[in-house]
Amino acid sequence: MRRGRGVTKRKQDLDFDCPVEVTLDVIGGKWKGMIVFHLSEGTARFNEMRRAMPHVTQRMLTAQLRELERDGVLTRTVYPEVPPRVEYELTHFGRGLVPIIQLMETWGEQYRKQLPQAG
């Protein structure tokens, strides 16, 4: 996790005042919630997630997956095949985020409906 001038600290070394702050630190950002959302349906390969999230760059998706793996939200399994097959799956801990993401999905649908229609 990056803090300040590129200093990396482990989560357990940080002093969070609020559990919500911890949660947002783990799933915050534009893509982590989307990754958890897509993996809530089951195991996925990297390119499947790229297709499901066409606006994320390969570099950003790789970085976000690594952070989620480091934080214990997902596992990365590399199969000894040619070409290599890599699959991502939510851990038990990561599956605990699914109800939160589903509530966010419901809230987003309701919010989108109340927005003025464009055009």
What mean pLDDT value characterizes the chain? 88
Cis check for the bond before 83: say yes or no (omega within 30 of 0): yes
CATH architecture of 2-114: Orthogonal Bundle (1.10)
Confidence of residue 117 (pLDDT cuts 50, 70, 90): confident
Helix 32-39, helix 98-114: angle, nearest 10: 110
Quote the percentage of the chain above a pLDDT of 70. Answer: 87
pTM over 0.85: no
Domain range list for the chain = 2-114
Confidence of residue 118 (pLDDT cuts 50, 70, 90): low
What is the reported pLDDT for 3? 36
